[in-house]
């Protein structure tokens, strides 16, 4: 099972097990994105220990090998020192409408699979308590009860509890006060798709040495495009200039060497020493001092801007000017690979896996995708791990 993993912030050591909205909000702030159709586990090793959040897609649980995926997920948590976990099944985003039959299936069948698998995990059981099922703005706790006579078990489902809105949770309020990202979705996605549909990409004579300057100017252009979307004033001439800057960046990203340099710049961001371009992977897997800056984590400024560029590349690849479609496709593949590696570096193995799946769907002949897939599924861990 591919998982996203992150410790909670150092000053947030207590997560109330009886407040599902707070658990969901803490995960949303920690991952920098809205958990949607996910299994969230808050691993710990008893009271007064720092929680570790993990996330994985529900689609893997309902697959034929769902039990094996879950066993692998729990084993990875045990390797991180966790002996138990709070568990949460999030259907849609927890507040959106869910078919009552689907909700009941997860309360009964899905919850039973989770609890039974954890109970029989070898060499020792892994305690999942409490287990919450969230959907349609409600939360229900599910407990696997052992019969007093015999080896039978039965499920107990709690009465329905209304789910507190995200904006009303303490986790959200604290995040706002600390200046942390609580954005519900990537702003500007639609306008960048529209920009991409208008682009006429052309080959450019870019070199890796140009990448830093290109990225700086493109991020400024993306900021102005976003401001225009929000209603700020701006001339049509400036908008066209910004679109041309996005086009130049995407054209440059059609060059393989620029992909690699872009990743290296993300690794260098906030670091006192530049990473050796020839030994980049080796450093990320062996040097624990190589830690990602907040800007290149999910929800961070650079990461979000790369997602926007990927949105523009996708539109240019499918609906843009035909002459530039090939360049747009190369840029999209490069951005997808960079984002997958950044997600992996941040212990977001599930998010990285989804990027690789996208890459394989659009480019089955990709030579990089199998390498990325091996890194994520094995998994090969980045060297750094934030300790409590």
Give the whole-angstrom CA distance, residue 51 versus residue 45. Answer: 8
Give the whole-angstrom CA distance, residue 157 versus residue 146. Answer: 14
- Mean pLDDT, the chain, rounded, equals 83
Lowest mean pLDDT among 147-156, 157-166, 277-286: 147-156
Q: Is the pLDDT of residue 264 over 80?
A: yes
> From the CB of residue 276, how many other CB atoms can be counted at a distance below 10 Å?
10
Of the chain, the percentage scoring pLDDT greater than 90 comes to 32
Q: Is the pLDDT of residue 148 over 70?
A: no
Cβ(91)–Cβ(135) below 8 Å? yes
User: Using 50, 70 and 90 to split pLDDT, how confident is the model at 387?
Assistant: low
Give the whole-angstrom CA distance, residue 60 versus residue 58. Answer: 5
Cβ contacts of residue 332 below 8 Å, gap of 6+?
A: 310, 313, 314, 317, 362
Give the whole-angstrom CA distance, residue 32 versus residue 26. Answer: 10
Lowest mean pLDDT among 5-9, 57-61, 215-219, 351-355: 5-9
User: Using 50, 70 and 90 to split pLDDT, how confident is the model at 7?
Assistant: low
Pairing of strands 138-146, 161-162: antiparallel
Q: Which of 23, 301, 4 is nearest to 166 (CA)?
A: 23
**Res 236: pLDDT:** 78
**Res 9: pLDDT:** 47
Cβ contacts of residue 263 below 8 Å, gap of 6+?
A: 280, 338, 341, 342
Q: Which of 231, 230, 202, 174 is nearest to 9 (CA)?
A: 174
pTM of the model: 0.63
**Res 176: pLDDT:** 63
Pick 363 or 228 by higher pLDDT. 363
Pick 192 or 103 by higher pLDDT. 103
**Res 11: pLDDT:** 43
Dihedral pair phi/psi, residue 263, rounded to 5°: -60, -45
Q: Is the pLDDT of residue 108 over 70?
A: yes
Q: Is the pLDDT of residue 4 over 80?
A: no
Cβ(334)–Cβ(253) below 8 Å? yes
**Res 188: pLDDT:** 59
Q: Is the pLDDT of residue 307 over 80?
A: yes
Q: Is the pLDDT of residue 14 over 60?
A: no
User: Using 50, 70 and 90 to split pLDDT, how confident is the model at 320?
Assistant: low
Residue for token pair 């949607």: 36
Pick 17 or 117 by higher pLDDT. 117
pLDDT in tens, 15-71: 677 889 999 988 888 777 788 899 999 988 877 677 888 888 898 888 888 899 899
Pairing of strands 127-135, 153-157: unpaired
Q: Is the pLDDT of residue 233 over 80?
A: no
**Res 15: pLDDT:** 63
Pick 87 or 14 by higher pLDDT. 87
**Res 306: pLDDT:** 93
pLDDT in tens, 163-208: 988 878 888 777 766 656 555 455 556 677 777 777 777 777 778 8
User: Using 50, 70 and 90 to split pLDDT, how confident is the model at 261?
Assistant: very high
Which segment, 150-164, 196-210, 288-302, 360-374, is predicted with the most confidence on average?
A: 288-302
What would you report as the CA-atom Rg of the chain, rounded to the nearest whole angstrom?
22
Cβ contacts of residue 379 below 8 Å, gap of 6+?
A: 76, 349
């Amino acid at each position: 099972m591919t998982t996203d993993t992150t410790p909670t912030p150092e000053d947030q050591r207590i997560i109330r097990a009886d407040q599902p909205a707070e658990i969901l909000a803490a995960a949303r702030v920690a991952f920098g994105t809205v958990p949607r159709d996910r299994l969230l586990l808050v691993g710990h090793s008893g009271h007064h220990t720092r929680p570790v959040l993990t996330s994985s897609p529900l689609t893997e649980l309902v697959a034929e090998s769902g039990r094996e995926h879950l066993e692998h997920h729990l084993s990875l948590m045990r390797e991180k020192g966790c002996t138990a976990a709070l568990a949460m099944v999030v259907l849609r985003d927890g507040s959106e409408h869910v078919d009552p039959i689907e909700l009941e299936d997860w309360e009964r069948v899905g919850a039973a699979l989770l609890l039974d698998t954890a109970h029989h995990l070898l060499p020792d059981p892994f305690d999942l308590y409490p287990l919450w099922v969230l959907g349609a703005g409600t939360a229900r706790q599910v407990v696997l009860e052992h019969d007093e006579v015999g080896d039978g078990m039965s499920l107990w489902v709690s009465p329905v509890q209304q789910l507190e809105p995200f904006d009303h949770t303490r986790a959200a309020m604290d995040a706002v006060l600390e200046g942390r990202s609580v954005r519900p979705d990537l702003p500007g996605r639609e306008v960048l798709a529209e920009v991409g549909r208008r682009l006429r990409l052309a080959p450019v004579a870019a070199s890796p040495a140009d990448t830093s300057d290109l990225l700086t100017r493109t991020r400024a252009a993306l900021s102005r495009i976003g401001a225009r979307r929000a209603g700020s004033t701006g001339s049509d001439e400036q908008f066209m200039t910004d679109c041309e800057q996005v086009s130049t960046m995407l054209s440059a990203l059609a060059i393989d060497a620029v992909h690699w340099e872009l990743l290296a710049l993300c690794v260098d961001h906030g670091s006192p020493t530049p990473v050796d371009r020839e030994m980049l992977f080796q450093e990320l897997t062996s040097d624990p001092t190589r830690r990602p800056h907040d800007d290149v984590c999910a929800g961070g400024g650079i990461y979000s801007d790369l997602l926007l560029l990927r949105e523009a590349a996708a539109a240019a690849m499918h609906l843009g000017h035909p002459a530039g479609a090939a360049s747009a496709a190369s840029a999209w593949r490069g951005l997808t690979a960079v984002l997958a590696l950044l997600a992996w570096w941040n212990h977001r193995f599930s998010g990285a896996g989804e990027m690789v799946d996208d890459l394989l769907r659009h480019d089955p002949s990709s030579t990089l995708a199998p390498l990325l897939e091996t890194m994520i599924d094995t998994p090969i861990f980045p060297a750094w791990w934030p300790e409590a």
